[in-house]
Amino acid sequence: MKVAVVGATGLVGSKMLQVLAERDFPVTELIPVASEKSVGKEVVFKGKPYKVVNADTAISMKPNVAIFSAGGSTSLEWAPKFAAAGITVIDNSSAWRMDPTKKLVVPEVNAHALTPEDKIIANPNCSTIQMVLVLEPLHKKYGIQRVVVSTYQSVTGTGVKAVDQLMNERKGVDGPKAYAHQIDLNVIPQIDVFLDNGYTKEEMKMVKETVKIMGDENVKVTATTVRIPVMGGHSESVNIQFAKDFDLAEVRSLLAAAPGLVVTDDPANGIYPMPKDAHDKDDVFVGRIRRDESQANTLNLWIVADNLRKGAATNAVQIAEYLSKKNWL
């Protein structure tokens, strides 16, 4: 299978190549795509070098699937051109997520929504992906009414420039800034731009994307998203109000049985999910599972995942795997 990776030289693009190799996706020819300034450079995939090409060249090479991780403006411009050439696009930017004509997919939750006609498929926001994986089995059983989520998000979610800023600040070196404020030894309660309602774009992504993925407008979500000086892995404190009461043992059992989830919940022995333990893993980890004693039918839990893997690259590759198994590529 011919596979194009658009944005192959970036942080997420590099992770895409790693995940494709690790999961042994049936790549017969890799087509790494990047901006004109990167054309001609080489990327290595499974020990073999491949030359970076531009988007026009990639389309002419007729890949079966193109996995995009090159930003919203690139996706808006080029995804329709790839799709028009009969190439299935899986897009990791926010460009198509809320387009009513495009599917927004977390395979474990709503792969069943996909059809052979879907030529541009949206990959959700990293913080949304890890949360809906936990919400889905609980919603089926108890009926979610409201979710209150606060995130603790890694600098890798911003990109290489943010990683460099954090490391420069640790060393006392002045350099380019990804954030308006210091990030080392600090917490920034802003991810993306502020909107007229006082929430950030990232917060509203979580609200709207969760409803779209789960296919239920009765699920109400409110979010506060925060950037912390961690190198990899997003964490979330989640408070979930249900229509029906629950049994904690059953909650743990439901989550343990859900695909893609690992229950890490033994607080008496200091065992709970942490970003360092999720590093370079595809699973989503959930722990600190406990009843909210201030309100009926309400649960508190803590969710951690590697934002570059399940939050981006792995989810996109899993979509491609699903399409491949269906012989739709």
Token look-up 């028009």 returns: 84
Q: How far is CA 328 from CA 81, 319, 322, in A?
A: 19, 11, 9
Lay out the sheet containing 88-91: strands in order across. 29-33, 2-6, 65-68, 88-91, 120-122, 103-104
- How many Å apart are CA 135 and CA 150, to the nearest integer? 15
Residue 37 marked ligand-binding: yes
Paired tokens of 231? 């190198």
Residue 54 marked ligand-binding: no
Which residues are known to be catalytic?
126, 234
- How many Å apart are CA 141 and CA 123, to the nearest integer? 26
Spell out the residues 6+ positions from residue 80 whose beta carbon is closer than 8 angstroms to its own. Answer: 120
Residue 9 marked ligand-binding: yes
Burial 13-27 (b: 16+ CB within 10 A, else e): bbbbbbbbeeeebeb
Residue pair 218/242 in contact (Cβ under 8 Å)? The answer is no
SS3 at position 310: helix
Residue 20 marked ligand-binding: no
- How many Å apart are CA 282 and CA 142, to the nearest integer? 27
- How many Å apart are CA 6 and CA 208, to the nearest integer? 26
- How many Å apart are CA 238 and CA 206, to the nearest integer? 12
Residue 128 marked ligand-binding: no
Residue 308 marked ligand-binding: no
Binding residues for phosphate: 97
Binding residues: 9-12, 37-38, 97, 153, 227, 307
Binding residues for NADP(+): 9-12, 37-38, 307
Binding residues for substrate: 153, 227
